[in-house]
Structure 1
Amino acid sequence: MDGQRAVDWARATWLNPPPTVTVDDGGLEVAARGRSDFWRTTGYGFVRDDGHALLTAFPAGAAVEVTFLARFDELYDQAGVMVRVDERNWIKAGIEMSDGVPHLGAVVTRELSDWSLSPVPEWAGRHVTVRVSRAGDAVTVRARCEDRPWRLVRLAPLDPDAAASAGPFCCSPQREGLRVRFTGFTTGPADTALHAEQVHPAGH
């Protein structure tokens, strides 16, 4: 998308800082804490709010894009973008391992979490970009693998008056040792339309 500006990793704020963070010319590498997650109640009966997220302001009319390397091995390994209002109101979207296959999905939480997934085995071990765009009373979530066309992932409600932040996140609910390399973190203007072919994403 046009008009994106890089976010300085050092100027964003960690929610639950990970055990290890390394910044180099290629981006930011995170080692996730074992058994970390974001979830509220639905289906599993527990509340987890100890995953890692590096957040910047996400006002109305803004978009945030995060690019990362999707190389996951264990059930529920996950990374992508989080939109955060508070511990009871948030969205996470990106790649998550389920049934041995990478899935593109989102969790939208308004007191209780939901979950939607679509398998993308061809995205394994490749760079994925997730984009969240805030306009009016909604957040539009899109994703793509490398330079492929954008895919619409989710349209979710968000109070237009809510103070929100957004940025890279990762969790490792089942194990120790997950490492995620984030190679892009940008912000810019919100999309002008819902469907990608109407907003002319860069390169297409």
Structure 2
Amino acid sequence: MEGNRTIPWNVAHWLNRPPSVDIDGDDLIVSTADRSDFWRRTSYGFIHDNGHALLAALPLGTAIEVTYEADFEALFDQAGIMVRVDERTWVKAGVEFSDGVPQLGAVATREFSDWSLAPAPEWIRRPITVRASRSGDALTIRAHKGDGQWQLVRVTPLAPDVVANAGPFCCSPTRRGLVVRFTRFVRGAADASLHAEGPGV
């Protein structure tokens, strides 16, 4: 992402600070609370809004990238990036452990949560980067493992006039103690094109 600037961990603000937060060199290491999650209503009927997210401003025309590593072991262990307007309007995207394998996917929520997943077994125990790019009336989510190619994860509406924040998130809906090492948190220019290819997307 061209012209990116690192967002210091202590400049962003926590939504539901995890029970354990440590700085190791330039990395942020967090451990999740018991049965932490983000979800609204669909299929399950409940509202959970106690997952952990470290958020900074995502103005129109910008993108935020997060890189992290985690050992996903328990059902629904998850980490990645969250884009949040309020408790009824948000997107989370990254890797989630479901059906016995890591899955690459996203939950887009506008009062009701809308979930999509695709198996990604080769993404386990690899550095994962997720980018949220805001342009016009859309939010575009892309991700890659290691130094691999970007994959399009989701394109979803986001009104150009709303105030949104974004940053790393994690939660563990069936246990406590998912440990996630976040190694990168940067802001840069929004993607030049929805269908552009390569690292300069």
Q: State if a TM-score over 0.5 links the two structures.
A: yes
- 1:91-147 Cα deviation digits (max 9, x unpaired): 000000001100000000001001000111001001000000000000000000011
Q: CA deviation at 1:2?
A: 1.6
Partner AA of 2:101 in structure 1? V
Q: CA deviation at 1:177?
A: 1.6
Go from structure 1 to structure 2 and tell me whether the alpha carbon gap of 1:108 and 1:93 turns closer, same or farther (over 3 Å shift): same
Structure 2 residue 160 is the aligned partner of structure 1 residue 182: no
Partner AA of 2:186 in structure 1? T
Partner of 2:199: 201
User: Which 4+ residue blocks in structure 1 deviate beyond 6 angstroms?
Assistant: none
Partner of 1:27: 27
Gaps of 5+ in 1: none
Secondary structure of the corresponding residue to residue 9 of structure 1: coil
Paired residue total: 201
Partner AA of 2:199 in structure 1? P
Contact 2:138–2:156 (CA<8 Å) still a contact in 1? yes
Contact 2:70–2:179 (CA<8 Å) still a contact in 1? no
Gaps of 5+ in 2: none
Q: CA deviation at 1:176?
A: 1.4
Identity among equivalent positions (%) equals: 61
Rounded Cα–Cα distance in structure 2 between residues aligned with 1:126 and 1:20:
22
Rounded Cα–Cα distance in structure 2 between residues aligned with 1:163 and 1:105:
24
- Aligned-residue RMSD, C-alpha: 1.1
- 1:138-185 Cα deviation digits (max 9, x unpaired): 000000001100000000000110000000000110001211110100
Go from structure 1 to structure 2 and tell me whether the alpha carbon gap of 1:101 and 1:196 turns closer, same or farther (over 3 Å shift): farther
Question: Within 5 Å, which residues of 2 pair with 1:153-168?
Answer: 153-168=153-168
Structure 2 residue 99 is the aligned partner of structure 1 residue 94: no
Rounded Cα–Cα distance in structure 2 between residues aligned with 1:153 and 1:196:
14
Contact 2:133–2:141 (CA<8 Å) still a contact in 1? yes
Secondary structure of the corresponding residue to residue 10 of structure 1: coil
Rounded Cα–Cα distance in structure 1 between residues aligned with 2:85 and 2:6:
22
Rounded Cα–Cα distance in structure 2 between residues aligned with 1:154 and 1:177:
28
Partner of 2:113: 113
Rounded Cα–Cα distance in structure 2 between residues aligned with 1:64 and 1:45:
31
